[in-house]
Amino acid sequence: MSPIPKPGILDISPYVGGRAGVAGVAKVVKLSSNESPVGPSPAALAALDQAKASVALYPEGSALLLREAIAEVYKLDLARIITSGDGSDALLTMLANAYLQPGDEAIFSEHAFLVYKIATLANSATPVIVPEKNTNHALMVDVDAMLAAVTPKTRMLYIANPNNPTGSYLTRDEMAKLHAGLPKNVLLVIDAAYGEYVTAKDYEAGIELVAKFDNVVMTRTFSKLYGLAGLRIGWMYASAAICDAINRIRGPFNTALLQQLAGAAAVRDRDHFWKAVEHNNTWLPWITAEIRKTGLRVDDSVANFVLIHFPQGAKNAANADAFLNKGGVILRGVASYGLPDCLRMTVGTEDENRLAVSLIQQFMAT
Ligand SMILES: *Cc1c(COP(=O)(O)O)cnc(C)c1O
């Protein structure tokens, strides 16, 4: 008899990322993976050169130099930061590895990031999926429904804030209410992958909750605003007890020196940070408004992407996707997120945004 994976593993649909190419189209504009159109900080690229000299050596295992940079910039307790050299995805997975066992339940919302379900099933635990609210301009996490889904078996609740692919967010007060309604033995994981983009005054990425409570984790990434998706750097902030658990199971050298140096340089480059924020603040509203003029529903977003709803029939999402592909633009189909009638578009460079919007206008006009 051949080896059999643990229960749950063969129920996982492997993660499929945003497409990177179109057959027969040489040069494509890739607006499918929420990567930064501004790219990385030049200081991060310079740090990569510097790191070359040391690749024969193991890195310092706690990623101290990267944690120091993060602690300084985000004003956090150094001892309660953990980094990852396989993105924040790996941290989201390690949290499940540390806290879920067969029979346990993990709650997340209907259109949540796919990694939560994968990490839950990989630990033979049970995903509990809660419907979202559909207001006419956004798909929103329903805090009351999330709390109503809690049972004695609940061990974790994952929430992306802002959420991908919907682009909506919970305010500081709504998140505090969600936390307050959870039993103390349930881990609240706040995935703030897009937190750097949010300018709304009533948003809080999770730092305040982590400071006050032992059962909260905030995860962050260098893949989005910092423009380093290819380098796979993520980090988390949590209580000492949670960090202790994760530090026991993470790889002893899980963040390469290359990643530590580039991440530290990136986080310290505040000019580049604000350049990326400003670019998004210019183009997110423009894209939203221009596409809405075609009559399509575009949801309010505080992140670096928008969710576009297409009608049934000739102007459906699949036809729009094909039309855009022919014009050399790739958006993200989000059927795997339970949104078969939608496409998600990442904010690109000015030229990319203009091209994508004009193709959508042509598609709707033909
Ligand atoms: C992109 C993204 C991440 C980050 O993934 P990395 O592994 O850090 O590249 C995490 N959560 C959500 C919701 C995302 O969209």
CA distances from 219 to 6, 90, 161 (A): 27, 10, 10
> Which atom from ligand 1 is nearest to the alpha carbon of 113?
13
Reported confidence tier of residue 18, pLDDT bands at 50, 70, 90:
confident
User: Going from the N-terminus, what domains does the chain have, and what CATH number goes with each?
Assistant: 17-39+271-365 (3.90.1150.10), 42-268 (3.40.640.10)
5 cis-preceded (ω within 30 degrees of 0): no
CA distances from 316 to 136, 313, 360 (A): 18, 6, 12
Q: pTM to 2 decimals?
A: 0.97
- Tell how far the Cα of 363 is from the centroid of ligand 1, in angstroms: 30
Is the minimum distance from the CB of 85 to ligand 1 under 6 angstroms? no
- Tell how far the Cα of 27 is from the centroid of ligand 1, in angstroms: 26
The distance from CA 100 to its chain's CA centroid, rounded to whole angstroms, is 21
Continuous segment of H or E residues that includes residue 47:
helix 42-51
pLDDT at 26 over 80: no
Q: Residue whose CA is closest, atom 11 of ligand 1?
A: 193
- Tell how far the Cα of 340 is from the centroid of ligand 1, in angstroms: 21
Q: Which residues of 1-37 are buried (b: 16+ CB within 10 A; e: fewer)?
A: eeeeeeebeeeeeeeeebbeebeeeeebbbbbbbbbb
Give the model's pLDDT for residue 256.
Answer: 97
366, 326 in Cβ contact below 8 A?
Answer: no
Phi, psi of 342 (to 5 degrees): -120, 155
Q: Which of 17-31, 135-149, 296-310 has the weakest average pLDDT?
A: 17-31
Is the minimum distance from the CB of 87 to ligand 1 under 6 angstroms? yes
- Tell how far the Cα of 87 is from the centroid of ligand 1, in angstroms: 7
- Tell how far the Cα of 5 is from the centroid of ligand 1, in angstroms: 26
pLDDT at 21 over 90: no
Q: Residue whose CA is closest, atom 1 of ligand 1?
A: 193
Q: Residue whose CA is closest, atom 12 of ligand 1?
A: 193
The CA distance from 171 to 54, in Å, is 44
Q: Span 313-340, mean pLDDT?
A: 96
- Tell how far the Cα of 58 is from the centroid of ligand 1, in angstroms: 26
Cβ within 8 Å of residue 229, ≥6 positions away: 33, 35, 36, 222, 223
**pLDDT tens track for 132-151:** 999 989 999 999 999 999 99
- Tell how far the Cα of 145 is from the centroid of ligand 1, in angstroms: 24
Is the minimum distance from the CB of 189 to ligand 1 under 6 angstroms? no
The CA distance from 134 to 312, in Å, is 18
The distance from CA 92 to its chain's CA centroid, rounded to whole angstroms, is 10
Cβ within 8 Å of residue 93, ≥6 positions away: 115, 118, 119, 122
Mean pLDDT, rounded, of the chain: 96
What percent of the chain is modeled with pLDDT above 70? 100
Is the minimum distance from the CB of 364 to ligand 1 under 6 angstroms? no
Is the minimum distance from the CB of 223 to ligand 1 under 6 angstroms? yes
Reported confidence tier of residue 322, pLDDT bands at 50, 70, 90:
very high
3-state secondary structure 230-282: HHCCEEEEECHHHHHHHHHHCCCCCCCHHHHHHHHHHHHCHHHHHHHHHHHHH
First to last CA, the chain: 58
Token pair, residue 282, equals 């210019």
The CA distance from 361 to 333, in Å, is 18
Q: Which of 21-25, 60-64, 196-200 has the weakest average pLDDT?
A: 21-25
pLDDT at 366 over 90: no
Best mutation site among 84, 113, 116 for ligand 1 pocket (most ligand atoms within 8 Å of CB): 113
The CA distance from 22 to 44, in Å, is 30
Is the minimum distance from the CB of 89 to ligand 1 under 6 angstroms? yes
44, 262 in Cβ contact below 8 A?
Answer: yes
Give the model's pLDDT for residue 15.
Answer: 82
